Structure 1
Amino acid sequence: MAFTRLGHGLVHWRESGPAGAPAVVLVNSLGTDFRIWDEVAAALSANWRIITYDKRGHGLSEVPPGPYAIGDFTDDLIGLADHLGLTRFALVGLSIGGLIGQDLAVRRPERLTALVLADTASKVGTAESWNARIETIRKGGLAAIADSVMERWFTPAFHAGRPDDLAGWRNALLRQPADGYIATCQALSQADLTNAIGSVPVPTLAVVGDGDLSTPPDLVREMAQRIPGAGFALIKGCGHIPPVEQPDRLLTLVTEHLEKHGRG
């Protein structure tokens, strides 16, 4: 395990792969830590320098007082990249990780060689829906939303065929810091990059599970259409978390995009 203190607090991160290879940063979703990338990171690390980390308020990273904004997460990422000497890198962002990727591509496109936006959108949910979730957590903790989140994260086939994995990822959600989760929901409630992403110059691929109930395919496709030249791919038999439910298919799509654009 590696820890680095940035301006907002302690960040937990991990590096794998050849030190001299082109770098790829994997940014995880709300309510997860960087272990969500384990299978994908292990495969990519044969040819790429892979960085995974726990966002503020998640995993073993510290939980600074909220509310947060998407720009805070982006600043944290830039700080970690600077610490690691990553002048330019590719980014694969899942859900809120994709919003962080979009924000970075708008604000600092020169830092990115390539961008993969997985199961995300330029605006996710509404202020009302996020505030309702926050209120539910304040009253009942993360356990109060765990089952509904699992329905959004994974398809019915995953629920039926992989019950032990489902229970494990539910446990992973429950072990996230509730204060960090709430503060991140507050960031999502205000985030809207709909107009800004029309200027993104970074080679971009958007991917989404065909059974994603959090960011449905049409929403992800709409985001992709706003980004100049962005590609779009559907992952069959998958919900909101492709690196867990369909890691091989996600890996194929990511690798193809990185080989075209990520070595610049």
Structure 2
Amino acid sequence: MAFATINGITVHHELIGEARAKKLIVFSNSLGTDFRIWLPLFDELPEDVSVLLYDSRGHGLSGTGDGPFTMDDLVDDLGALVDHVGIRKAIFCGLSVGGLIVQGLFAKRPELFDKMILCDTASKIGNDEMWNARIEAIEKSGLSSISDNVMERWFTPDFHQERGDDLAGYKLMMERQPADGYVQTCASIRDADVTDISSAITVPTLCIAGDQDGSTPPELVRAMAERIPGATFEEIPGCGHIPCVEQPEILGELIEAFLRKT
């Protein structure tokens, strides 16, 4: 465990390997999770890959700050953390809101990017009505009031049936996130549209979707991939919104193949 003061908040992070490694992946996780969601994937990555994990603002053990925050704040947090750790260039992998953060960072700091991996994300996620309804429900009744519905979008019916203990654990992870941080991240996603950024990405990009993703369906991810020059789109069978948990072996194979490409 490591902590740093970044843009006035405490950021929980972990660098596994070397900041100047030739193959370094920076992971940015999804709404309602912390960086532990990437741990099942870690054993599936090549041994020469270093990783930087972190809890985004308002999630896990990272602070929320004194006032409302926006997508720009989330993007700036990641950029400042990368500088703090001493990373000069990396492969950035973002899941869901993490994908929005990674694309936003590319717009501001393209020199940091070697390649990009966008998992179960899009240029625009959801609409105002959906996010406002979720925010209202949380403010009225707490995160537990929406957690069952969220689990249905995160994981496939097979996962629900066959991996009950894991499901219960990830539900607890989601319910124990700071409610204020979750709500502010919802508002940040609601107000974010990176369509123009997607079409301007100039580094090799891999876009991945679970075939049963209930949050960012495959057709939404594919549409984003088609806007990114030269991007590759891959669909993971038997997978919902969190491939690093539900299908880490397949996700690891896709990432390893992507890293081998020059």
Per the normalisation by structure 1, the TM-score is 0.96
Whichever residue aligns with residue 259 of structure 2, its letter is L
Does the 8 Å contact 1:214/1:240 carry over to 2? yes
The reply on whether 1:257 has 2:220 as its aligned counterpart is no
- CA displacement 1:240-261 (0-9 Å, x = unmatched): 0000000000011111112225
CA distance in 2, matches of 1:47, 1:10: 29
Aligned with 2:199: secondary structure?
helix
Q: Which residue of 2 aligns with 1:143?
A: 144
2:196 — aligned with what? 195
Aligned twin of 1:124: 125
One-letter amino acid of the counterpart of residue 17, structure 2? G
Contact 1:28 1:96 in 2 (8 A): yes
Kindly report which structure 2 residues correspond to 1:49-128, keeping only aligned pairs within 5 A, or say none: 49-128=50-129
CA separation in 1, counterparts of 2:129 and 2:172? Answer: 27
- Looking at structure 1, the residues matched to 250 and 17 of structure 2 have their Cα atoms a distance apart, in angstroms, of 21
Corresponding residue SS for 1:4? strand
Give the CA deviation at 1:105. 1.9
Q: CA deviation at 1:36?
A: 0.2
Which residue pairs with 1:185 in the alignment? Answer: 186
Separation of aligned partners in 1, 2:171 and 2:209: 21
Q: CA deviation at 1:103?
A: 1.1
Does structure 1 conserve the Cα–Cα contact (< 8 Å) formed by 2:120 and 2:210? yes
Number of residue-to-residue matches in the alignment: 261
Deviation, structure 1 residue 21:
2.1
Q: For 2:79, what is the secondary structure of its paired residue? A: helix
Check the 8 A contact 1:121/1:215 in 2, yes or no: yes
CA RMSD of aligned residues (A): 1.2
Q: CA deviation at 1:150?
A: 0.1
Q: Which amino acid aligns with 1:143?
A: S
Give the secondary structure class of the aligned counterpart of 2:195: coil
Deviations 1:167-206 (Å, cap 9, x if unpaired)?
0100110110000000000100100011232111111010
Out of 43-52 and 164-173, give the one that drifted further.
Answer: 43-52
Cα distance change on mapping 1:194 and 1:132 into 2, 3 Å: same
Q: Whole-Å Cα distance in 2 between the matches of residues 195 and 76 of structure 1?
A: 21
- Say whether the 8 Å CA contact 1:54–1:60 is kept in structure 2: yes
5+ residue gaps, structure 2 = none
Deviates more, 1:143-152 or 1:9-18: 9-18
3-state SS in 1 of match to 2:209: strand
CA distance in 1, matches of 2:129, 2:20: 46
Contact kept in structure 1, 2:20 and 2:86, CA below 8 Å: no
- Is the Cα–Cα contact under 8 Å of residues 57 and 74 in structure 2 kept in the other structure? yes
The residue aligned with 1:215 is: 216
Q: Is the 8 A contact 1:105 1:202 kept in 2?
A: no
Asked if 1:6 is matched to 2:6, the reply is: yes
SS at match of 1:233: strand
Superposition misfits of 4+ residues, deviation over 3 angstroms: none
Q: Secondary structure at the match of 1:199?
A: coil
Identity %: 52
CA distance in 2, matches of 1:142, 1:160: 23
Residue 15 (1) aligns with residue 37 (2) = no
Counterpart CA distance in 2 for 1:71 and 1:48 is 29
1:189-245 Cα offsets, whole Å, 9 max, x none, are 100011232111111010000000100000000000001110000000000000000
Q: Residue 32 of structure 1 aligns with which residue?
A: 33
Q: Report the residue type matching 1:2 in the other structure.
A: A
SS in 2 for 1:44: coil
Letter in 1 for 2:248: P
Which residue identity is paired with 1:121? A
Distance in 2, matches of 1:135 and 1:37, equals 29
Secondary structure of 1:254's counterpart equals helix
